[in-house]
Amino acid sequence: MNSDNMVLRNLALVFCGGAVLIILLCFIAGVAFAETALKNSFGGEDMKLIAQTNLTYTTCLQKNALEQLESSPDVRLIAGNAVASCSSVLDELRAALEENGVNPDFYHGAVERMKNRAIRRLLPLLMMEKSNRAN
């Protein structure tokens, strides 16, 4: 009977130890998920910063590209030069979002979409302006 009690006692210890381990792992996973969820979202100040940067970036691209319109016959080159000239605006946004604790993987997509939208708006504008100046 003594050995049966020892076996039961050992099984109880193993079971309790396993349960504690499972609870501990669940807790760690929950904390990691909560930490990730906080960093994978934009706060109100981040959204204002993104909107302001979008306006600043679009204005920078348009102004820079229109100033170069006479220097090159290819609007794609003009747009590329404008993107290079205005890249510091997006770099400042990236730095500010990183400083605010936003996950770089999360904001990278938002910044790239902003850049692509601005370029897609810029190219037709440049083609129309180039056409108007040719007439």
DSSP codes joined into one string, 97-113: HHHTT--HHHHHHHHHH
pLDDT band for position 6 (cuts 50, 70, 90) = low
Cα–Cα distance, 11 to 106 (Å, whole number):
46
Distances (CA, A) of 69 to 57, 75, 87: 18, 8, 19
100: Cβ contacts below 8 Å, ≥ 6 apart = 43, 45, 46
pLDDT at 125: 92
CB count within 10 Å of CB 1 equals 5
The answer to whether 101 and 72 have CB atoms below 8 angstroms apart is no
Please determine, for residue 122, whether its predicted confidence score (pLDDT) is greater than 90: yes
Q: At CB < 8 A and 24+ separation, what contacts does 27-33 make? A: none
How many percent of the chain have pLDDT more than 70? 69
Rg (CA), the chain: 28
Average pLDDT over residues 11-22: 47
What six digits make up the tokens of 23?
């609870």
Which tens digit of pLDDT belongs to each residue from 94-107?
999 888 888 888 78
Percent of the chain with pLDDT strictly greater than 90: 41
Whether 55 has a pLDDT exceeding 60, the answer reads yes
Tokens linked to 35: 């930490």
18 vs 111 pLDDT, higher one? 111
